[in-house]
Structure formats: C-alpha cells, structure tokens
Amino acid sequence: MTYYKLIKQQNLQINKFNITLRRVSFNDLELLRGWRNSDYVNKRMVFTEFITKEMQEKWFESINNDFNYYFIAEFNNESVGVINIKNINNNVGEGAIYLASDKFENTHIVARMVLCFNDYVFDELKLDLICSHVRRDNAKAISSTIGQGGIEDKEKSTPEYIYFKIKRENYINKTIKLRNILNKLK
C-alpha cells in the first residue's frame, strides 16, 4: 500500500442523509474507549472486558488498514456513535454499529448512519455481502438488521448470537421507503 493511499484512507469522510461518517483516527481512541467501557455500550458487545489504553492502541494498530473501515458518526456536529465493516475478504465484510449513549436510541440517527454507511460499503467498496453477529437479547439491533434486509444464517447462528447476512439487492429493496423519508428530512 502506498503512503498516499494510506493518507487518503485515514482522512476518509462520507456525507449522506445529513450525517457525516469520518474515519477513526488515533486522536479518537480515548473517546471510543470511554464509549466502549460505558455500561450502555459494553452490555451490547461480544467483547465485554474493560478496555485499557494499551488495549485500545493495539486494537487501532490492528484495524488501521484496507480490510477494516471504522467511522465515527456525527450528526449536527455531535459525535453519536461508531459504525464499521471489518475483516473484508472475498467481497464480504463483518459489519457492526453502536451508539455513544441512550439519548440517540429510537431516533432517526441510526437509520441515517446505517444507510449512509451501507451505501458506501455496497457502492464504493463494492462488497457483495455484509455479515453481522447480533446478541439475541438485543431486540433493537435484530429489528434494525432485518429492516436492512438481513436474513439469518441458521447454520452460523448460536444460542447466544444470530448471524445475519445482508445482500445488496435485499438491502436496497428493504430500505426504499426509509430512503425517501430521510431524503425529505433535514
């Protein structure tokens, strides 16, 4: 990978549906660590141990490449959460999202984040499939994933997690009405 490509990738910013997604940088690590260690976020995650500064820096070193895209979502100049696609291989990646706090739950912000990001994943990165593991006790995430066209892969699901696959065609068909609504909102 050339230096130019790495710089371009690190400065990546996506704007759509009145939300901004900006690539996570080293300067964001303490903000993200604070969110991840909060009770609100931690109880929804697969990895639930306390994250130290050293662990956070090691994680960043492992994901700061062309196979992992982590973004901070900003709405009205406020950081509201994180959305990502990781472990990209053979046009398939693992997607995930989390909000910074409960004040953003049950708002249009999640839909804006998801549509902005998934459009980027399918249209710019040209992935064929987004996969995700959702905890069975996370009803909102299950509903959101199904609303994006996610279909459970029962063979890969476990008693604790549902393994979803989102294909581009299903995603586009399931989100047509939502896109029209968000395009009208400011």
- Cβ atoms of 95 and 131 closer than 8 Å: yes
- Cβ atoms of 34 and 72 closer than 8 Å: no
Q: From CA 24, how far away is CA 3, in angstroms rounded?
A: 18
Q: From CA 46, how far away is CA 30, in angstroms rounded?
A: 20
Q: Residue ranges per domain, the chain?
A: 3-184
For domain 3-184, give the fold.
Aminopeptidase (3.40.630)
- For position 43, what pLDDT does the model report? 78
Tokens found for residue 165: 């696959």
Q: What is the pLDDT of residues 39-94, one digit of tens each?
A: 878 677 777 789 899 999 999 999 998 889 999 999 999 999 999 999 999 999 99
